[in-house]
Structure 1
């Protein structure tokens, strides 16, 4: 819940001039009131994503936004399961999986977030938590739908805290997520699914993180509000 019209204008000007590697895809996710403006300002190859959607198509659900509204604006992305939705708004694994299923069935692509809190990591429950979240997703979608899912591993203890998982810590979990996909969905899905790292990513640490084999990109938080966002987009260039 950050930004304003001026920020949309300045970031679109910044990114529209960017020339990143051909195998890099950039998607921005402004708050809902700025989605239409963002789509009109960012060049066509830069995706625009909602930060969340309802599992409902329409109706008496005040304050919610639906997949129909996104498609009406020409958008194809949404983020689902962000740790703040899980923690602050108490969205369950099952609800997030349902939302993801609805989004995928209606032609949207999903950045699906998973990750553990500090006390869960310290208790050695990182994989238990992440696999539980992924299991709920697997139960709700077909194998063919995974092609439109991007997984974002976001250790909750590293979001907005300045703490960053070391490249090895992040790589270890990303590797285990990929193995889980291979064992529980298919080797094809495991190989083709992009797994992003999210947790205090910035221009200073992105190059080191992206060198890890199983880190395919980033879900960027605070740094996406600054000029350094472009440097993160250029990390693989």
Structure 2
């Protein structure tokens, strides 16, 4: 899978043009291609992807309740009713700017799964944690808190995105070896808790400054199953090149 996280970018007209251009550049993809778009664009991008095999749409967030007095929020049931395929949960920007922790994210994951929307669960460490050598401990705790009460069949519906926070939007990328080491660690955790079949079938994406010039090397690592792409997903030709690298 290659998923593009547009974040708070593009107007509806710009988003429609961007998605259409990516679809035309890629043609029939050899992997799943996901557009993570602003909420105001979900239905229009869903309409485009529904006619383009291999392309899907993701929300960038959702609320943990089904309904209620939560002004400005969107529920998993609403996303499902709109035909949304995926939802990005636990992104580092949601954690940093909005104080989300894995207890809350876990509740969102359960609601998404119950509604039939597949979570793309983000985890990762900050630079000081990496420098202290505590990255496996921190990422392991995130995964344990967010995912380890799920049943095996629920876990099969979850995509994991490892995003070293120190490599998001900085232009710094984890080396292919660093990415592989963390992806292998995550897969071992899934194996130890859910078993080999679930671990082997779990898609684990790398999400830290993926670009056309480093995508092929990153995606060539045995436990890297694709990417969660930020800024580079806003350029149709560049994002298409990343897709084709997988």
Task: Give the TM-score normalised by the residue count of structure 2.
Answer: 0.92
Report the counterpart of residue 239 of structure 2 in structure 1: 229
Correspondence for 2:20 among 7, 13, 17: 13
Correspondence for 1:4 among 1, 6, 11: 11
Shift of 1:160: 0.1
- C-alpha separation between the residues in 2 aligned to 1:12 and 1:81? 24
- C-alpha separation between the residues in 1 aligned to 2:140 and 2:87? 21
Correspondence for 2:203 among 182, 194, 200: 194
Total equivalences in the alignment? 235
- Structure 1 runs (4+) deviating above 6 angstroms are none
Report the counterpart of residue 91 of structure 2 in structure 1: 82
SS of equivalent residue, structure 1 residue 37 = helix
- Whether contact under 8 Å (2:148, 2:193) holds in the other structure is no
CA RMSD of aligned residues (A): 1.2
SS of equivalent residue, structure 1 residue 174 = helix
Q: Which runs of 5+ in 2 are unaligned?
A: 1-7
Q: Bigger CA drift: 183-192 or 109-118?
A: 183-192
> Residues 179-200 of structure 1, C-alpha deviation per residue, up to 9 Å, x if partnerless?
1111122111111101000011
- Whether contact under 8 Å (1:20, 1:234) holds in the other structure is no
Task: Give the TM-score normalised by the residue count of structure 1.
Answer: 0.95
Q: Bigger CA drift: 69-78 or 197-206?
A: 69-78
Alignment CA distance shift 1:4-1:190 (3 Å):
same
Q: Which runs of 5+ in 1 are unaligned?
A: none
- C-alpha separation between the residues in 1 aligned to 2:63 and 2:112? 9
Shift of 1:136: 0.9
